[in-house]
Amino acid sequence: MSALRPTHDERSRHHSHPAGGHGHGHDSDHDHEHDTPGHGTGRWARLRHQVGHFVTPHSHEAMDKVDSAMETSREGMRTLWISLGTLGVTTVIQAVIVAFSGSVALLGDTIHNGADALTAVPLGIAFVIGRRAPTRRYTYGFGRAEDLAGIAIVLTIAASSALAAYEAVDRLLNPRDISHLRAVACAAVVGFIGNEWVARYRILTGRRIGSAALVADGLHARTDGFTSLAVLLGVGGAAIGWRFADPIVGLLITVAILLVLKDAAREVYRRLMDSVDPHLVDAAEAALRDVDGVLDVGSVRMRWIGHALRAEADIVVDPHLTVVQAHERAVDAEHTLMHAVPRLTAATVHTDHPPVGGDPHAALRHHGG
C-alpha cells in the first residue's frame, strides 16, 4: 500500500521520526500546552505517559540507541571470537589425526570445521562496520553489512561442500586403507562436542541480538557436529574391512553440508528481501489499534537493518483534529510500537483521516489499505 497522502495543510502527513531523530524530546517537549477546546484529555494523557516513563524508564533518544547497538555488536564479536577459538582448536586436533590416519571422512569434517571457524572473519568485519554512525550517503547506517557477511558465509559453506565431495569421490576411485581408528573416533567425538557447544552459543546470541547471519552460522555449526559423529560410521566400516565405508561417509557429510547450505541461504535470502516474522506485524497492528484516537490501522511495514528493526505504519485519526493534535496521535502510536515490538529501534507513523462524517475505513480503501 502506498503512503497515505492527506490533501489539506491541516491534514498533512505527520511523522513520528526515527528514534532519536524527533524534533521533540520524549521527556521534555511533550509537556507543551494547547489551548484548543476539549484538549484537556490530551494533557492528562501526556502527564500519564511522563509518569510512566519516570516509573519505567524507556528512552528512545539517539545515544541510547547507539549504546544498545554497540552492546549487541560487542556481544556478537565476543561470541565470534570464542567460537573461532573453540573451532580452531577442534580443527587443529582433527587435522593432525587426518595427517597420519588418511581418513577422508575425517578430512571432510575437518575442512568443514575449518570453514566454519573462518566464517567468523566476515561476520567480525560486519559487526565492526555496523558500529559506524550513519552518513549523508548511508543514511540508515551500515547494519546491512551483516547481510553481506551472510552471503560470504553461504559461499564458504558451498566451497567446503565442493572440496569435501571432491576428496570423497577421489577416495572412492582410488581406495586406500585408513589407520589409527581409535584416534579417528576420538577426533570425531571432539568435533561433535566443539561444534555443538559453538552452535548453541551462536544461536542463543544471534537470537538475542537479532542477527540472522549469526543464527545461520550457529545452524551451520550444529550440523557440523552431527557430521562429526558420522565419521564414526566410517571408522566402524573400516574396522570390519569395508574400504568404501570411509569415502561413502565422506559423501554423506557432503550431503549434510548441502542441507545446511540450503537453510543458511534461505535465511540470508529472507533477510535481503526484508522478510520479518508475521507475528511481529500482528503485534504492531494490535498495539496501534489500542492507541487512543486511532480509528483504524492501514499498512504496517517492517525491515531489519543489521540486528535492529525499523517500521512504518499508517493510521486513521479524527478529521477534526488540528495538525498538532494529529501529530500527538502519531507520537503516541510510535511510543506504543517501540514498547510492543522487540528490537524495534525506529518507527515512522503516517496519519490520514476519513471524509468528515464518513467511514473511517474509506481513507485506507482509497489508498489501497
- Calculate the dihedral angle through the C-alpha atoms of 340, 344, 345, 346, rounding to the nearest 10 degrees: -80
pLDDT, tens digit, for every residue of 290-300? 999 999 999 99
Instruction: Give φ, ψ of 4 to 5 degrees.
Output: -70, 140
Closest CA to 17 of 246, 310, 255, 349: 349
Instruction: Give φ, ψ of 128 to 5 degrees.
Output: -65, -45
CB atoms within 10 A of CB 361: 14
pLDDT at 125 over 90: no
Place of cell 547494519: 143
Closest CA to 103 of 259, 235, 278, 230: 235
Q: Which residues touch 240 (CB under 8 Å, ≥6 apart)? A: none
pLDDT at 56 over 50: no
pLDDT at 63 over 70: no
Instruction: Give φ, ψ of 155 to 5 degrees.
Output: -65, -35
pLDDT, tens digit, for every residue of 137-155? 998 888 888 888 889 888 8
- From residue 21, give the alpha-carbon distance in Å to each of 276, 324, 340: 24, 18, 20
pLDDT, tens digit, for every residue of 246-299? 888 888 878 877 887 888 888 888 888 989 999 999 999 999 999 999 999 999
- Name the 3-class secondary structure at 139: coil
At 8, the pLDDT band (50, 70, 90 cuts) reads very low
**What integer is the mean pLDDT of 97-102?**
86
Closest CA to 287 of 333, 347, 353, 348: 333
CA 312 – CA 327 distance, rounded (Å):
15
Least-confidence region, from 32-36, 166-170, 215-219, 365-369: 32-36
CA 268 – CA 354 distance, rounded (Å):
40
Strand partners, 351: 315
Higher local confidence (pLDDT), 61 or 233: 233
Strand partners, 159: none
Higher local confidence (pLDDT), 369 or 96: 96
At 46, the pLDDT band (50, 70, 90 cuts) reads very low
Write the DSSP string, 133-169.
PP-SSSTT-STTHHHHHHHHHHHHHHHHHHHHHHHHH
N- to C-terminal Cα separation, the chain: 6
Place of cell 489539506: 8
DSSP assigned state of 177: -
Place of cell 496521535: 329
pLDDT at 339 over 60: yes
Q: Which architecture does CATH list for 9-61+276-366?
A: 2-Layer Sandwich (3.30)
Exposed / middle / buried, residue 76 (Cβ in 10 Å: 0-12, 13-18, 19+): buried
**Which of 237-241, 248-252, 316-320 is modeled with the greatest confidence?**
316-320
Higher local confidence (pLDDT), 243 or 67: 243
CA angle 294, 38, 321 (to 5 degrees): 40
Q: Residue ranges of the domains in the chain?
A: 9-61+276-366, 70-272
**What integer is the mean pLDDT of 304-312?**
86
**What integer is the mean pLDDT of 60-81?**
56
Can you identify the CATH homologous superfamily of domain 70-272?
Answer: Cation efflux protein transmembrane domain (1.20.1510.10)
pLDDT at 58 over 70: no
| Grid cell for residue 122 | 566476515
- Calculate the dihedral angle through the C-alpha atoms of 37, 40, 42, 47, rounding to the nearest 10 degrees: 150
CB atoms within 10 A of CB 23: 8
pLDDT, tens digit, for every residue of 183-193? 888 998 998 89
Instruction: Give φ, ψ of 299 to 5 degrees.
Output: -70, 140
